[in-house]
Amino acid sequence: MNDAGWVALLRGINLASRNRVPMAQLRQVFAETGAERVRTYIASGNVLFTSRRSGRAALAKALEQAVEERFGVAARVILRTFDEIQDVAGSHPFGADASRTQVAFLDGTPSATKVKALESLEVAPDRVHVAGSEAYLYYPNGVQGARLSGALVEKELGVAATVRNWRTVTKLAELAQAE
């Protein structure tokens, strides 16, 4: 069986002084669950690794449990394959300037009804575009004071999410491609 390449996006760790998770120890926890070639990117909970385990949901649950047991932090783990993260990085829906774009990685695919409801919210000048299990968020005036938040995306779509800025998304895709 070939090793699958994964990017784990942990939700809610290392936010200011809350939910502290040292990256060196996080890499060790992943290795102890059977992950190989484990690397982290910045301290916001981005882990690239390979694994012989199959089954996205079971792998995410095992990683969540290991993180909670080691650090006492209940962090949702949202997984994307190396190919999926590269597809996201190649799918910017808001034109050439991606500097004000973030991506909410969803833990599942929302219903078409919920997507339509989210996309019809009055959040201008912010914009949202949902494609599969990603919600692309555009903040022309920056994130501070934005009407569209990750929490609002979660509430409207009914699925957990973790948000990354575009620079992080493209760097994760670059690291995945280098594997």
pLDDT digits (tens, 9 = 90+) for 36-87: 999 999 988 999 999 998 799 999 999 999 999 999 999 999 999 999 999 9
- Those residues of the chain that have pLDDT short of 50 are 1
Q: In angstroms, what CA-CA distances link 167 with 12, 71, 78, 101, 172?
A: 18, 28, 18, 9, 9
Domains along the chain with CATH numbers: 4-84 (3.30.70.1280), 86-178 (3.30.70.100)
